Chain A
Amino acid sequence: MDLNNNPYNILGVATNASTEEIKTAYRNAARRFHPDVNPNNPGAIAQFQEITAAYEILIDSGQREKLNQTLAKKNEDDKYQFTLQITPSRKIIETLPESQVIYMLAEARPDSRARHLKEEKETRLNLTLVLDHSNSMSGTRLDKVKIAAHQIIDQLDENDIISVVIFNDRAETIIPATPVNDKASLKAKISIMQASGATAIYSGLSNGVEQNRQYAGPKLVNHIILLTDGNTYGDEEASLELAREVAAEGISISAMGLGQEWNDQFLDELASITGGTCTYINSANAVVRFLNDSVRNLVNAFADRLRISIATDPDIELESAFKLSPHPQPLSIENGYIPLGNLQHDRKVSVLFQLQLPPNIPEGTYSIARLQMSGDILANHNHNFQAISDIQLGVQKDPPPEEPPMPILDALGKLTLYRMQESAKEALATGNIQEATRRLENLASRLLAMGEEDLATQALEEARRVAHTLNLSEKGSKILKFQTRLLLDSSNEDHNS
């Protein structure tokens, strides 16, 4: 039996629960998770299967006894864990004849005993660099990319695997996947890169995937870094399809866009499908730092392939999910599972969910949702470790006043700014110039009130540009998008350590 799936936790009962309690817990869970009520949520269906398996073990006294013995032994290995903590915006809501919104902050942290492991253990990395060497990369940009790639090779050792693919309108594998032994010759291969041709991302990406797959496995951090400075034409869909495929295999992709002429919406989606990140690099000089930082984060991973699934009551609607830390970005909720990338030793992963509750909930206490975070713990090769949390909500006619938790308010205050620039772009896309201008001006005044003067100036400049030219500048649009996200980052440092 897989020890991570502790049947007691899955069913939400105490280890000394009576058979009657176990049966009640199962009936309650079935009401919520049964595939009949969740036809379009694979995450919930998978959760239900686990619940059923857990139930079958716990009602069989022989199996339950055996389980108790194994669990006692397992406690020794407990330091290689992460915990999941959920904070709702309100614990008790008022019963109202209208829909209401509730937010939930989910935070995963490595067990405090795992923090010292940072020094003693080495995470093995299976890294693929997919580098754009189209004509527009010539000069400083390509030079900086070479420097960064050299430094990355210096960061790695013979336990790590590297491969390098370069692409313009076609792709070439200049370093096939290999352990990092002969650093000098690896670097030499990178040095001979030259700029020419146009940008076609799919061919580069698919070559990179092919290389990464040669060593990809659950014991490693399997990661592809795609660096480009150009728009790709006509192969976006194929690239996204490939990203979905590799995400299921446990490979993640980070995208780095250099300069102004790349499609941020496409690369954002490409990365977030796999739990990776999308970064905007404003100047060639910053390339070295961004690439090195991202590799350092991979090397420091405590757990990888982190993902969260949320199963709600059928009449509760999940409206959005946003990763607050590390690297704030919107998350796709299409699928029941939301990939979140890796968990660092000293940094939490936090996600903010927005849910809509139905009108006229009768008074009482309800279990409204279950969140389940899973991931591969790298230190002891503990695959698919899981942490589960059930969310309780009270509903009353006249609830006592409640102060919303500060971390949620703080995040929402900043998230609203990110959403404001998104909604300005939406208004612009539908041709509503007046609305787009108004939203950008609003954004500017909110940013100014927060003391973000440079960003406020940028927003105001873009508001003026929209009013006159009916469009945003490529640069301004990217700055507003990525910088408003970064506002969330500073507010989310973990001070618990």
Chain B
Amino acid sequence: MKICPHCGTENREGVYFCEACARALEENIEDRTRTVKLQGNSTEMSGKATWGTARFGSEAAIIIHIRDAAEPLVLHPAVRTVLGRADTTSKQQPDLDLTPFGALEKGVSRIHAAIERSEDTLTIVDMGSVNGTHLNGQRLIPEQPRVLRDGDEIRFGKLVTHIYFK
């Protein structure tokens, strides 16, 4: 059975689009079938990829936009913030619990990844999660930290987030 992440309707296994709200039940399917008709002048869209700053000041906070969540999360990161899915049966609990954002259905591990803070940068490290952590579409090698920049996309399993520095 698949629960629609958009409207909560139960769909049978093997169904790809929710029978109640017509949206894709999995994000990669939504991505694959997105056929947006370009309106107007398409050359305007050939902008260059831009990089956000990697500098993270001592008073700064991270705004985490989780796809389909109503409100973004604001995080004042400690030296190490573990992200994952809280589960009463396991000993170690994450610092940031992603359960309210459909972590279970989206394949987020109990201990998935950590955001670590040093001098004036932030790094992300995958902690051997089952479904992996993707930074801007690239899968991270477990236990190998990568620097985070303003505007980066991080995907935990199938849970998509965008982070902004404030």
User: Is A100 part of the binding interface, using a Cβ–Cβ cutoff of 8 Å?
Assistant: yes
Whether the pair B32, A101 counts as a contact (CB closer than 8 A) is no
Report if B16 contacts A (CB, 8 A). yes
- Residue A153 lies at the interface, judged by CB distance under 8 Å to chain B: no
| Interchain CA distance A90-B16 in the complex, whole Å | 12
Q: Quick check: which of A127-135, A244-252, A283-291, A405-413 contacts chain B, the rest being far away?
A: A405-413
**Interchain CA distance A89-B16 in the complex, whole Å:** 10
The answer to whether B39 touches A100, judged by C-beta atoms less than 8 angstroms apart, is no
Report chain B residues within 8 Å CB of A452. 37
Q: Are B33 and A101 in contact (CB under 8 A)?
A: no
Stretch at the interface among A91-99, A140-148, A231-239: A91-99
**Number of A interface residues, CB 8 Å?**
32
CA distance A449 to B31 in the complex (A): 12
Per-position 1/0 for B2-43, Cβ under 8 A of A: 000000000011111111011110000100111111110000
Q: A450, B13: Cβ atoms under 8 Å?
A: no
SS of A interface (majority): mixed
Complex alpha-carbon distance, A99 and B14, angstroms: 9
Check if B13 sits within 8 Å of A406, measured CB to CB: no
Q: Taking the nearest CB of chain A, how far is it from the CB of B30, in angstroms?
A: 9
Q: Given A94, A409, A442, which contacts B16 in the complex, CB threshold below 8 Å?
A: A409
B45 at the A/B interface (Cβ < 8 Å)? no
- Bound Cα distance from A100 to B22, whole angstroms: 18
Q: Which residues of B contact A416 (CB under 8 A)?
A: 17-19, 22
Q: How many residues of B contact A (CB 8 A)?
A: 22
A413 to B24, Cβ gap below 8 A? yes
A413: B residues at CB distance < 8 A: 16-17, 24, 33
Across the interface, name the chain B residue whose C-beta is closest to A410.
B33
Q: In the docked arrangement, what's the CA distance between A455 and B16, Å?
A: 23
How long is the Cα–Cα vector from A446 to B33 in the complex, in angstroms?
A: 12
Asked whether, in the complex, the Cβ of B14 is within 8 Å of the Cβ of A98, the reply is: no
Closest chain A CB from B128 CB (angstroms) = 19
The verdict on A404 contacting B37 (CB below 8 Å), with A409-B29, A446-B22, A446-B23 known, is: no
A93 touches B22 (CB 8 A): no
A444 to nearest B CB, angstroms? 11
CB distance from B109 to the nearest CB of A (A): 17
Instruction: Say yes or no: B12 contacts A406, CB within 8 Å.
Output: no
Q: How far is the CB of B77 from chain A (nearest CB, A)?
A: 34
Determine whether B1 belongs to the interface, using a CB cutoff of 8 Å to chain A: yes
A98 touches B22 (CB 8 A): no
CA distance A385 to B163 in the complex (A): 61
Q: Are B16 and A404 interface neighbours, CB within 8 A?
A: yes
B13, A98: Cβ atoms closer than 8 Å:
yes
A residues within 8 A CB of B37?
450-452
| Distance, CA A450 to CA B22, complexed state (A) | 12
Q: Nearest CB to that of A490 among chain B residues?
A: B35
A453 contacts B by Cβ under 8 Å = yes
**CB–CB B22/A406 < 8 A:** no
Report how far A416 CA is from B7 CA in the complex, Å: 15
**Contact, CB under 8 Å: B35 / A356:** no
> Which residue on A lies nearest to B35, using beta carbons?
A450
Establish whether residues A412 and B16, one from each chain, have CB atoms under 8 Å apart when the complex forms: yes
Is B22 touching A417 in the complex (CB atoms < 8 A)?
Answer: yes
Kindly list chain B residues whose C-beta atoms are within 8 Å of the C-beta of A98. Answer: 1, 12-13
- CB neighbours (8 Å) of A101 from chain B are 12-15
**A443 located at the interface, meaning its Cβ lies under 8 Å from any Cβ of chain B in the complex:** yes
Q: Which residue of A lies closest to B39 (CB)?
A: A451
Complex alpha-carbon distance, A70 and B117, angstroms = 80
A420 interfacial by beta-carbon distance below 8 Å: yes
CA distance A121 to B38 in the complex (A): 41
Do B14 and A93 touch (CB < 8 A)?
A: yes
Task: Across the interface, name the chain A residue whose C-beta is closest to B17.
Answer: A416
Pick from A357, A409, A410, A453 the residue with the most CB of B within 10 Å: A409
The reply on A102 being an interface residue by CB < 8 A is: yes
Q: CB-CB < 8 A to A412: which residues of B?
A: 16-17
Against B, the Cβ 8 Å flags (1 = close, 0 = not) of A372-412 are: 00000000000000000000000000000000101001101
Asked if A451 meets B24 with Cβ closer than 8 Å, knowing A94-B13, A410-B33, the reply is no
Contact B12 A420 (CB under 8 A): no
Residue in B14, B21, B32, B36 whose Cβ sees the most chain A Cβ within 10 Å:
B14
Q: Which of A100, A419, A450, A451 contacts B14 (CB 8 A)?
A: A100
Q: Give Cα A357–Cα B16 distance, bound, in whole angstroms.
A: 15
**How many angstroms between the C-alpha atoms of A100 and B13 in the bound complex?**
5
Chain B residues packing against A (C-beta within 8 Å):
1, 12-19, 21-24, 29, 32-39
Sample of 19 A–B contacts (CB below 8 Å) = A89-B14, A96-B13, A98-B1, A98-B12, A99-B13, A100-B12, A100-B14, A101-B14, A357-B14, A404-B29, A406-B32, A409-B33, A412-B16, A412-B17, A416-B22, A419-B19, A443-B22, A446-B22, A446-B23
9 interchain residue pairs of minimum CB distance: A451-B37, A101-B14, A416-B22, A413-B33, A416-B17, A100-B13, A100-B14, A451-B36, A420-B22
- By a beta-carbon cutoff of 8 Å, the part of chain A in contact with chain B is 89-90, 93-94, 96, 98-103, 356-357, 404, 406, 409-410, 412-413, 416-417, 419-420, 442-443, 446, 449-453, 491
User: A89-B16, A98-B13, A416-B17 are known contacts; what are 19 more A-B pairs with Cβ within 8 Å?
Assistant: A90-B14, A93-B13, A93-B14, A98-B12, A99-B13, A101-B12, A409-B32, A410-B33, A412-B16, A413-B16, A413-B17, A416-B19, A419-B19, A442-B21, A449-B34, A449-B36, A450-B37, A451-B35, A491-B35
